[in-house]
Structure 1
């Protein structure tokens, strides 16, 4: 567990630079101490494992410069950055130093967290709760107001993960192939998976994938196919959806336990494309399992943009007044209390 204690109260007019950087896009907002959003920007995806740290931060810089220019400033008091691929504390430290070198914070005040924290903070009224995110991958984090956090490495099978859009797609292919050739249980996936790509059999799909006629980047398209096949009643597809529900709840319960929150009424925020789609079997399965293992936890799907969470974390750090939190939340989620 890692975490930081909020800093001193801000001087009048101090601002937060909020950054939410995912694999596919980056959102940035300059937020004044009273919660007013003075500037915003959007840029490309943040992928330091592919392009290197400095090149990845260059992508952030495009959106940051746009937001700062709109706000009429060159720097702010504090940078709150929630970044994809910041999976380990050593990576957070490396990225924080890279952001400090850009001079976006007047005092070098920079916090870098994994982007799952942005989704968690966007979904709670105070820095208290747990979030499970299932998008391309799967991750879970938790936090308490005293700065304590819980987290997982969440870097794939080597860290014990199962699930996420790409993982579900891979499982769908595996079961479809075995259903076709007889090594596995019969499943409609042997029909629905190749049909999605306009093919009539798994051997044809296997050949197309192996020879690169269908790029790896399209595999994620099979996740909705899996859920649709499960909805038709296919036993194999339904078993995969149930397994995902088990994984989501297992991560949440472990995080709640680490933070000593199993006996408290706390939110468990569900985010990412797979969970936000609210497939009935998955949604009901998560809620039923969570009620059995953590009866006081309250599951809720978050729909707010994650950059809101990065902004709220920044306001937490500078100890902004209550009205600031309300104002910035209303900006990103009109009609919010």
Structure 2
């Protein structure tokens, strides 16, 4: 057990950005100052179940609370809890909260932990959107996130949103680092055995793993000598092969640019913003890498569909967006927003 000063008071925020691979938590004062923070592993309720996923999140919250000087205690079951709550409001932007019913289920699970008087759960894409909006701007715009997967959300100041299920091929999704990696492997395999057109991917894809043929890579993946999850490493290989001039790889990059613009365009249209000057924010590891062909393709295609849209790449950490959404909820003054942005360099 550790004891400290009253770091979080009335109007303060517990900000959570929980992605598939990592989770960031911040305890934010009413003035926008970051009082404590912590980072932990990914948040995957579909894999481990809702309550075990929240248990994992609870440990990270406890670390952030301890960093803020709040009282923490061992509940006797191996889980560290926080006495007396952490903040006035929980603003949680969570991966795998893709459907409203999932948001409600996760919000209920978080409320049972007693971390705050109020709790709001959103998909983690909303954190990118809020983090990327200019300082002092109202919450109005569209964000497309392309990391392991791909998703898009839009928001208006009156609370209306535009969103997609974004749960894979069954909801019409294509792209993301995972999807690109699978496409690279598919085209490489067909090029090597003659079913498909020639492509340098047949050399660069197995070469990434130190192998001399796609067949050897297929065998290694199938038999588990190379963990199947490592296929996600192939997205950068695809971009590098395209940058070197390979036509097949370049066509996949062009397809991703078109997919990003399709998502953004539909979201803009749903919110009545297609013909207005509005930010379209790009986030996630694939888009933040600023691959020239992809970046140029998105800007060119979006200019044709939404000429007044202003494209920008978000590099600020998504937990900033979760925190700003929390400060929006508590009606914190503009100075608090500015202080929080300054802390994260946003």
2:51 paired with 1:48: no
User: What SS class does the counterpart of residue 238 from structure 1 fall into?
Assistant: helix
Contact 2:92 2:122 in 1 (8 A): yes
Paired position in structure 2 for 1:124: 133
Instruction: Return 71-80 or 83-92, whichever deviates more.
Output: 71-80
Counting matched residue pairs gives 321
Contact 2:23 2:43 in 1 (8 A): yes
Paired position in structure 2 for 1:150: 162
Paired position in structure 1 for 2:104: 93
User: What SS class does the counterpart of residue 142 from structure 1 fall into?
Assistant: strand
Map 1:193-208 to 2 at 5 A: 193-208=205-220
Q: Which of 233, 255, 258 pairs up with 1:246?
A: 258
Paired position in structure 1 for 2:88: 77
Paired position in structure 2 for 1:302: 314
Instruction: Return 82-91 or 203-212, whichever deviates more.
Output: 203-212
Contact 2:142 2:153 in 1 (8 A): yes
User: Root-mean-square deviation (CA), in Å?
Assistant: 1.1
2:122 paired with 1:113: yes
Provide the C-alpha distance between the structure 1 equivalents of 2:11 and 2:214, rounded to a whole number of angstroms. 59
Contact 2:10 2:88 in 1 (8 A): no
User: What SS class does the counterpart of residue 209 from structure 1 fall into?
Assistant: helix
User: What SS class does the counterpart of residue 189 from structure 2 fall into?
Assistant: helix
Q: CA deviation at 1:100?
A: 0.1
Q: CA deviation at 1:13?
A: 4.1
User: What SS class does the counterpart of residue 121 from structure 2 fall into?
Assistant: strand
Q: CA deviation at 1:71?
A: 2.7
Please list every run of 5 or more consecutive structure 1 residues that lacks an aligned counterpart in the other structure.
Answer: 1-11
Paired position in structure 2 for 1:8: none
Map 1:120-269 to 2 at 5 A: 120-125=129-134, 126-269=138-281
Normalization by structure 2: what TM-score? 0.91
Normalization by structure 1: what TM-score? 0.93
Q: Which of 104, 118, 122 pairs up with 2:115?
A: 104
Paired position in structure 1 for 2:20: 23
Provide the C-alpha distance between the structure 2 equivalents of 1:35 and 1:255, rounded to a whole number of angstroms. 30
